[in-house]
Amino acid sequence: MTRSSFDRELQTLTRLVSEMGGIAEAQIALSITALETKDIEVAERAVAMDARVDLIEREIDQAAFRLMALQQPLAGDLREMLVLIQVASSIERVADHAKNIARRIIKIPQERRIIPSGAWKELGTLALTSFHDALDALVQRDVEKALQVWRNDGTIDILCDAISEQLLGAVEQEARLVRNAAHLLFAAKNYERIGDQATNIAERVVFLVQGTFPDLIRPRGADSV
């Protein structure tokens, strides 16, 4: 394989990651709308989109292994390929979290629903924005933008904690809302996990550009799953 062929294959890999990320972003946006409007059809659309994300991830894996088999990548190329594979894995998990949120919305009983407060839309929007910015940072190789995503993760965690407290308070006032609150609590946690995966992507952008991960204490509540 010539260098120009290798570069084209690498560009294809990058395009697939971008396509995958765009679908996952759309899933998150649909989940936010479904939660706000209680629209089951919108939630079902978010669930259905997950299959396409899984298919693209398999295409990315196959393309990456084909590249490694046909040409021994230089250190910089290998680092970029590994980062793209890791980012694709994070995007797949984000899509799963968006799908899980949508499924929870579908399961919430139509009667006696807890009405989401403005904090819900804020949480979803923050998670979506962090994910979008992390993908932008990857495309632009923008370390500062990646670090800003990394720093913002604690805000998502704090907002998720506040929503959890609201749900517990609602259950204490009316026990019949337990099932409702449980679904919403899982939805909130999935938004938090989307923020975590955005942070994972941001860390990998820093590694791609600088060759090292951020030498800082990760924001409160974030994990590296």
What per-residue confidence (pLDDT) applies to 223? 45
What per-residue confidence (pLDDT) applies to 221? 52
Tracing tokens 């800003």 back to the chain, one arrives at: 148
pLDDT at 174 over 90: no
What per-residue confidence (pLDDT) applies to 144? 95
Q: How far is CA 199 from CA 91, 153, 181, in A?
A: 11, 7, 27
Note the pTM of the prediction, 2 decimals.
Answer: 0.88
Distance CA 139, CA 133 (A): 10
Q: How far is CA 74 from CA 51, 126, 211, in A?
A: 33, 37, 14
- Structural domains of the chain, ranges and CATH numbers in brackets: 3-210 (1.20.58.220)
pLDDT average, residue stretch 160-173: 85
